[in-house]
Amino acid sequence: SSDVCSSDLNELLGRRIKELRSAKNFTQEQMATQIGVSRQKYARLESGINSITLDLLSKIAKILDVTVA
């Protein structure tokens, strides 16, 4: 079993969210507004600087129309 440190995981999640958001042509602003955070905080989620809470993750998943596996 490989140890994934949480910062790597945040980065992977952020990158995946960014890909999905881009595919839907949403801006960071639109996403931030819909999940109720500032654009700055949202940008930090995508860049993996801030860890994503399950609550935010499920909101993002709903907007991007994906399931959280």
Chain segment 4-29, per-residue pLDDT in tens:
567 888 999 999 999 999 999 999 99
Report pTM: 0.85
Helix boundaries (H) for the chain: 6-23, 28-35, 39-46, 54-64
Q: CA 1, CA 26: separation in Å to the nearest integer?
A: 36
**3-state secondary structure (DSSP) of residue 37:** coil
Contact predicate 29/69, CB 8 Å = no
Residues 6+ apart with CB under 8 A from 35: 42, 56, 59, 60, 63
